[in-house]
Amino acid sequence: MINNSYISDAMTIKLDNKLPDYPTFKEGIRRAPKRELNLTEREIKLALKNALRYVPEELHDVLAPEFLEELMTRGRIYGYRFMPKDRIYGKPIDEYKGKCVEGKAFQVMIDNNLDHAIALYPYELVTYGETGQVCQNWMQYQLIKKYLEQLTDEQTLVVMSGHPMGLFKSHKTSPRVTITNGLMIGMFDNPHDWANATAMGVSNYGQMTAGGWMYIGPQGIVHGTFNTLLNAGRKVLGIAADGDLAGHLFVTSGLGGMSGAQPKAIEIANGVGIVAEVDYSRIVTRYEQGWVSKISSNLEEVFALSKEYMNKKQTISIAYHGNIVDLLEYAVNNNVKIDLLSDQTSCHAPYDGGYCPQGLSFAERTDMIANNKHKFEELVNISLRHHFELVKALVDKGTYFFDYGNAFMKACFDAGAKEIAKNGVDTSEGFIFPSYVEDIMGPMLFDYGYGPFRWCCLSGKAEDLRKTDHAAMEIINPNRRGQDRDNYIWIRDAEKNKLVVGTQCRILYQDALGRRDIALKFNEMVRNGDIGPVMLGRDHHDTGGTDSPFRETSSVYDGSNVTADMAVQCYVGNAARGMSLVALHNGGGVGISKSINGGFGMVLDGSARVDEILRKAIPWDTMVGVSRRSWSRCENSIETTIEYNKITNGEDHITIPYVANNDLIEKTFKNYGK
Ligand SMILES: NC(=O)c1ccc[n+]([C@@H]2O[C@H](COP(=O)([O-])OP(=O)(O)OC[C@H]3O[C@@H](n4cnc5c(N)ncnc54)[C@H](O)[C@@H]3O)[C@@H](O)[C@H]2O)c1
């Protein structure tokens, strides 16, 4: 007969049977709002059982009522009692226990994702993007750590939606961890069924690098935002190829996990930026970091200041404490000219607190989500429709608006602004405004394979990061393409721009072979003892790895952007080639059922084994995306694959599409049946 005593005896890696003290919650640490809870009585009981299966039976009497209270008041069981008592942050790798370098490296990354200075709601394990969690609860966190301490270089840890299934025997060249998050069976792949699954403790929203353990703080998006703004300026404002945004105004919203990168990026691009944010605590975080230089809740003052700096052609980033809709209303009513306009509220989850409707303060929004969700949803819809009208009025006056990957246009459409869809009926033909991927990032970066490659110096030493910056700079040829020149300047000035928050990491938008060469160089530096071990990875928001018709693959026009084959192939291909960590998620930055995205992590220990993996895996990870874009007839990608086939000379060989003549297609169609 199976009982808990046998079960406990059958495991050597498990949580202790000693009840941890209940933690105290520090004032000033942001807390996640109560999450949607629509469980039936049967499901609530299931949720309780599900949470209790992590802990020995001796603790169940105390924990059952505590977990139920958490579920009813917060919408989830986080298991706060199992939260570490000390501050969490990514410590130098040598301070972690482990049997292989990867096991220790992953602990650095997880702790960095939950660092109080980095995570959006650290107590609820949310790293960024309102709902993006490292794992579902603190029991999982504790158990994952225990597994990582025991992991050897011939085992793989399997993590399903934050749950560590266990260690399984594999090869020295296998991934040391495989992660999946939020993957749902097709007929249940919708926000409602997913919310129930997550409330029952069986699914996790990994966003992208939150559940993929590769978040590096807001720096991770500064480079992409900088590239986007600069290239938007080149595209619509007539900025010279080597010019900057001096004298131009960018207006947007959000100073959260990712959106907080916007003021820093506009300053690096030398423009003037105004960012609306309803949550004062997030403004303070960015201000104290030096990523935003002025705070005001007075719109007259905000726009007077921006005008002054535009006239002086000097840069400034201003945080407006208030709602973006109020700000845009002021701009429309007062005929303010805005050059570039976007939005980075968490519109992938507008009804879960991601979007604060006009008329509610941040505190009122939090209260209404908990106590009157229906009314809250109504207000979100009204606000989004009005928001859309204001954007339209500004665009009519010459503003360039772009959707910045937060599903803003989809959210407006869902809120009832059908006019935002090109055909006014559904979203199958896209939207009337461009997304930044369609206009900028797709054709100018992803098509060539440039994407958010990143690395973390696991020693925690700033000196190691400086050495890697210099090594990367030496590999870039600034005269090859405009993108390479931008990258060269980016990495040259990276230290000066004080981008590090948390561990010593760097982002650099590189193409496939550039990434490979930099990776090999870093591994050589580790081998020679110049630097400590390094963790390589990327944002999932990249050329390869992510199928997302409202974002990453919005510039794929052959009809295949409703498929997720590429993301899955990328994941499995990275695993087959031996990346240390592979991750595959549902949702990402646009919401459940709207994307499948994946990423990788690769630990550089200086070995020849790692060299071999880097040579094969790094180009694959990017070129799978370029080849897919090429096959869908993205012109710049076709050019890139032609060049790649030549360079690799048969070692890699990519199928390239023949291009059909448009007139022939028209003529054939016209003559059909005649
Ligand atoms: N473009 C990209 O590359 C990219 C990358 C990552 C994330 N995203 C998307 O951008 C969005 C934001 O990401 P994040 O990590 O910053 O999320 P976040 O939730 O940490 O930050 C969003 C911020 O918007 C503020 N906000 C909400 N409604 C507002 C309103 N009406 N007026 C003013 N401020 C308001 C919130 O208070 C919050 O601080 C997400 O949807 C995310 O998926 C885009």
pLDDT in tens, 409-424: 999 999 999 999 999 9
Does residue 28 have a pLDDT over 90? no
pLDDT category of residue 432 using cuts at 50, 70 and 90 = very high
Task: Summarize pLDDT for 271-287 with one digit per residue, the tens.
Answer: 999 999 999 999 999 99
Nearest atom in ligand 1 to the alpha carbon of residue 407 is 41
Two structure tokens written together for 598: 């994946």
* 127 Cα–ligand 1 center, Å: 12
Give long-range contacts, CB 8 A cutoff, 24+ apart: 669-672: none
Q: What is the pLDDT of residue 258?
A: 86
> Residue 366 has what pLDDT?
94
* Residue whose CB lies within 8 A of the most ligand 1 atoms, among 264, 284, 346, for a mutation test: 346
Write the CB contacts of 484 (distance below 8 Å, at least 6 apart in sequence). 476, 477, 478, 514
The residue-averaged pLDDT of 508-534 equals 98
Q: What is the 259 CA–ligand 1 centroid distance (Å)?
A: 5
Q: CB burial class (10 A; 0-12, 13-18, 19+) of residue 398?
A: exposed
Mode of pairing for the β-strands spanning 451-457 and 504-510: antiparallel
* Atom 29 of ligand 1, residue of closest alpha carbon: 356
Hey, is 103 helix, strand or coil?
Answer: helix
pLDDT at 401: 97
**Which tens digit of pLDDT belongs to each residue from 554-592?**
899 999 999 999 999 999 999 999 999 999 999 998 899
Confidence check: pLDDT of 674 > 90: no
Residue 468 exposure: Cα atoms within 13 Å on the Cβ side = 34
> Residue 124 carries which side chain, given as an amino acid letter?
E
Q: Are 340 and 250 in contact (CB under 8 A)?
A: yes
Distance 321 CA to ligand 1 centre (A): 15
Average of pLDDT values for 221-230?
92
In this predicted structure, what is the pLDDT of residue 360? Answer: 98
pLDDT at position 242 is: 85
Q: What is the mean pLDDT of the chain?
A: 96
Ligand 1, pocket residues at CB < 6 Å: 120, 128-130, 221, 224, 253-259, 276-279, 282, 323-325, 344-348, 354-356, 404-406, 541, 589
In angstroms, what is the span from residue 345 Cα to ligand 1's centroid? 3
Could you give the CA distance from residue 60 to residue 425 in angstroms, rounded to a whole number? Answer: 52
The protein residue whose alpha carbon is closest to atom 40 in ligand 1 is 346
The share of the chain scoring above pLDDT 70, in percent, equals 100
Instruction: Tell me what the mean pLDDT of segment 106-130 comes to.
Output: 95
State which ligand 1 atom lies nearest to the alpha carbon of 349: 41
Q: pLDDT value at position 257? A: 84
pLDDT value of position 117:
85
Is the predicted pLDDT of residue 368 greater than 90, yes or no? yes
CA of 404 to the centre of ligand 1 (A): 10
> pLDDT for 162-180, tens place per residue?
999 999 999 999 999 999 9
Instruction: Give the residue, out of 259, 352, 403, with the most ligand 1 atoms within 8 A of its beta carbon, to mutate for a pocket test.
Output: 259
* Cα 405 to ligand 1 centroid, rounded to whole Å: 10
Q: How far apart are CA 163 and CA 161, in angstroms?
A: 6
* Chain centroid offset of residue 609 CA: 30
In testing the pocket of ligand 1, which one of 127, 130, 343, 352 has its CB within 8 Å of the most ligand atoms?
130
Query: Which helix or strand (DSSP H or E) is residue 194 part of?
Result: helix 191-199
pLDDT beyond 80 at 36: yes
- The mean pLDDT value for 389-400 works out to 97
How far is ligand 1, taken at its centre, from the CA of residue 60, in Å?
Answer: 38
Lowest mean pLDDT among 92-101, 387-396, 451-460, 484-493: 484-493
The tens digit of pLDDT for each residue in 436-459 reads: 999 899 999 999 999 999 999 999
Pocket test of ligand 1: the residue of 253, 278, 345 to mutate, having most ligand atoms within 8 Å of its CB, is 345
Tell me the CA–centroid distance for residue 380 and ligand 1, in Å: 15
Q: Where do we find the tokens 């009804």?
A: 351
**How far apart are the CA of 406 and the centre of ligand 1, in A?**
7
8 Å CB contact between 331 and 398: no
Q: For residue 428, what pLDDT is reported?
A: 82
- Compute the distance from residue 394 Cα to the ligand 1 centre, in Å: 21
Closest approach atom of ligand 1 to CA 589:
43
- Least confident span in 137-146, 255-264, 316-325, 502-511: 255-264
Closest alpha carbon to 237 in 223, 251, 224, 250: 250
Q: From atom 6 of ligand 1, which residue's Cα is the shortest distance away? A: 258
| Exposed/middle/buried for residue 668 (C-beta within 10 Å: 0-12, 13-18, 19+) | exposed
Give residue 412's pLDDT. Answer: 98
Strands (E), 466-595: 504-510, 534-538, 546-547, 581-586
Q: How far from each other are the two terminal CA atoms of the chain, in whole angstroms?
A: 77
Average pLDDT over residues 173-190: 98
Please name the residue whose Cα sits nearest to atom 34 of ligand 1: 277
pLDDT, tens digit, 9 for 90 and up, residues 243-265: 899 999 999 999 998 899 999 99
Q: Is the predicted pLDDT of residue 1 greater than 80, yes or no? A: no
Q: In what order do the strands lie in the sheet with 400-401?
A: 294-296, 316-321, 272-277, 249-253, 340-341, 400-401
Of ligand 1's atoms, which has the minimum distance to the CA of residue 224? Answer: 3
Residue 627: pLDDT over 90: yes
Per-residue pLDDT band for 306 (boundaries 50, 70, 90) equals: very high
Residue 581, φ and ψ in degrees, nearest 5: -135, 130
Q: What is the pLDDT of residue 98?
A: 98
Q: Does residue 218 surpass a pLDDT of 90?
A: no
Tell me the CA–centroid distance for residue 452 and ligand 1, in Å. 19
* Ligand 1 atom, smallest distance to 362 CA: 37
Distance 543 CA to ligand 1 centre (A): 22
Of 128, 258, 295, 320, the residue with max ligand 1 atoms within 8 A of its CB, to mutate for a pocket test, comes to 258
Q: Ligand 1: which residue has its CA nearest to atom 5?
A: 258
257 Cα: distance to centroid of ligand 1 (angstroms): 7
Residue 483 pLDDT > 80: yes
Quote the ligand 1 centre to 472 CA distance (angstroms).
Answer: 31
Please tell me the distance from the alpha carbon of residue 467 to that of residue 545, in angstroms, as a whole number: 29
506 close to 494: Cβ distance less than 8 angstroms: yes
How are beta strands 546-547 and 596-604 bridged, if at all? antiparallel
C-alpha 391/C-alpha 395 separation (Å) is 6
Residues making up the chain, counted from first to last: 674
